[in-house]
Amino acid sequence: MERRTKGEGGVYWNAAKGRFIGSISLGTVDGKRKKKVVSGKTRPEVSKRIRQVQDELAAGVRSSGTYRVSDCLDDWLGTLTGKPQATQDSYRFAAKHVRAHVGSKLLTALTARDVRAMLADLAPGMSARSLRLVLQILERAIRHAQVDDLVARNVASLVRASDIGGTRAGRPSHSLTLPEAVALLDAAARSGLNAYCVLSLICGARTEEMRAAKWTDVNLNGDVPTISLVRSVRSGGGMKTVASTRRLELPPFVVAVLRAHYLEQARQRVAAGGLWRDNDLVFCNLLGGPLDSHNVRRSLTRIMADAGIPRATPRELRHSFVSILSADGMGIEAISHLVGHSSPAVTSTVYRHDIAVQSGHVEPMGRLFGGGC
């Protein structure tokens, strides 16, 4: 037999297993000799694995032979308890893709090739943004393991999602036209989400602000009825920006809807009896608890279908508020104050959609070209 090279460790052929077996001494603990055993189909493969183990030992890595990528994800996800629930849900959903493709692999055996193969498999049915999120989650989980000396290097940091790219195009945000907004409110009046849709579309409040709004923030009996938007469902209850804290006048139509909503909520409180949780929330579930964003989205989808208009998300009602006021002639700076943006540029470039029919060319082109136009 050929003499093994220096530092290779012991490598031999195991006929029963049909694989090469390698071992490296970890020293003596409590009078017993400890060894690390690896295996592979070829001698060079086992030798490479032994050298990797030696490098890990030199770097202080103490990962066990059973610590897998799924364990790494669990450990990192367990550190997210201070994050908003929506963020945690998003991360856990993306982590499912990682588990399905590489979760069973030993963390120390994971390679950049494995990560690229995972992203390539996911790319056909995933947007570029979602693909980046999957890679970022794996990278952060491995970084957390590095801090605990469970792996020597972060192979996910060697891969760029942009080199692969998702192929599924994301749906761009859009705005309802005035006739569509009227149809939406008509359909919403027959649902339990009526007041929510009205306040979002007529006042431009954020969905995260409305789900945190309390009745103590609402004044329906003053000379000028108002709602104060001072909290949100974000972590800590803070607002998105300093400009987000604002007090809005309520049109008579909205006041009537909110009064009817208050009476309906009182009936729900009586029906729930001792199960009711008095959180003083303007918008709550049948037991007084906070509304879930997913339930709001599903309810709005049903309302859209009933109205016979294109599907929209809750935040796009806010986009519609901006676009309809802009089309009616209100200045973008005034609209920016109403929606609580830190800059009119955000209102103009992100939220305002051109829903008006452009007709300025008709008169001059008709005059210049005569009857040909």
Single out the catalytic residue among 132, 318, 319, 352: 318
Tell me if 137 sits within 8 A of 118, measured CB to CB.
no
Could you confirm whether 341 is annotated as catalytic?
yes
Could you confirm whether 6 is annotated as catalytic?
no
- Which residues are within 8 A (CB) of 302 and not within 5 positions of it... i.e. 6 or more apart? 191
The arithmetic mean of pLDDT across residues 348-366, rounded, is: 71
The residue written with tokens 């829903």 in the block is 355
The arithmetic mean of pLDDT across residues 125-141, rounded, is: 89
Single out the catalytic residue among 68, 211, 351, 352: 351
Residue 236 burial (CB count, 10 A): 8
Token pair belonging to 133: 């999120």
Band of pLDDT at residue 7, cut at 50, 70 and 90: very low
> Does 121 have pLDDT greater than 60?
yes
What are the pLDDT digits (tens) for 240-297?
A: 878 889 999 999 999 999 999 999 999 999 999 999 999 999 999 999 999 888 889 8
Q: Which residue has the higher pLDDT, 17 or 194?
A: 194
Mean pLDDT lowest for which of 42-46, 97-101, 185-189, 351-355? Answer: 351-355
Single out the catalytic residue among 240, 246, 269, 297: 240
pTM of the full structure: 0.60
Q: What is the mean pLDDT of the chain?
A: 83
d(C-alpha 209, C-alpha 312), whole Å: 18
> Does 321 have pLDDT greater than 70?
yes
Single out the catalytic residue among 68, 231, 319, 341: 341
> Does 26 have pLDDT greater than 60?
no
Could you confirm whether 240 is annotated as catalytic?
yes
CATH superfamily entry for domain 69-163: Tyrosine recombinase, N-terminal domain (1.10.150.130)
Q: What pLDDT, on a 0 to 100 scale, did the predictor assign at position 241?
A: 77
Q: Which residue has the higher pLDDT, 236 or 219?
A: 219
> Does 164 have pLDDT greater than 80?
no
CATH superfamily entry for domain 178-351: Intergrase catalytic core (1.10.443.10)
> Does 20 have pLDDT greater than 70?
yes
Single out the catalytic residue among 206, 211, 352, 353: 206
> Does 179 have pLDDT greater than 80?
yes
Residue 118 burial (CB count, 10 A): 23
Band of pLDDT at residue 61, cut at 50, 70 and 90: low
Could you confirm whether 318 is annotated as catalytic?
yes
The arithmetic mean of pLDDT across residues 177-206, rounded, is: 92
